[in-house]
Amino acid sequence: MDYRAELVVAGKRMLQKGLTVETWGNLSLRDPGSGLVYLTPSAMPYDTITEEDVVVMDLDGKTVEGRRKPTVESGLHLSVYRARPGVNAIIHTHPIYSLVFAVQHRDIPPVIDEAAQALGGAVRCAKYALPGTEALARNTVEALGEGGMACLLANHGAVCLGRDMKQAFKTAAVLEMTAQVYQMALTTGEPQPISDGDVAYMRDFAEHHYGQDK
């Protein structure tokens, strides 16, 4: 697989889908064979990034290939990969509706079936820490826990995971839709979250039974 090419395409897709603005946000892919991590460069417009701009690091944070500075959130990406062996793609987004709850330091409960299936239960908001710091990386890993597929970053954005980039984008799309529905429901009444037991059932069904290849 050409991880550099996939990352370049993914950056453009993130921008086109309105999941961030300008140069904010970042993406990464992990090669499960070598363990190497491919990251977007720091502060470069996504519509100008080329394969040569992608930075390759090992899980200890050593740059293996690339002439650019990696995203300032490289430590966050590497920390998540070390904590979650089944994750091979991460998108850090700045989506509008999710940010509404991030600035309130408020979790998003699983109020729709799509959230129960794709997000792994409530999306927790990580405690605030400055961008690019070890504290933010630690807080992100804590908020994601063992099975969460997304978390909010207080006053900052969201982090969405996947076994591959396709699933990471699905996570990002479902998170933003859930945030929008939850925000609208709060203005009209009392949203009723799906129970933990039903979330667990739907999550297992989506992972192991839903689809043509399962």
Q: Cα(162)–Cα(118) distance, rounded to whole angstroms?
A: 10
One-letter amino acid at 72 equals: V
Rounded Cα distance between 55 and 64, Å, is: 8
| CA–CA separation, 74 and 178 (whole Å) | 27
Copy the structure tokens of residue 35: 């363990």
Contacts of 195 (CB under 8 A, 6+ apart): none
Which one of the listed residues 52, 65, 73, 176 is annotated catalytic?
73
How far is Cα 151 from Cα 148, in angstroms, rounded to an integer? 7
Active site residue 73: yes
Residue 11 DSSP symbol: H
Number of H helices, E strands in the chain: 7, 8
State the catalytic residues: 73
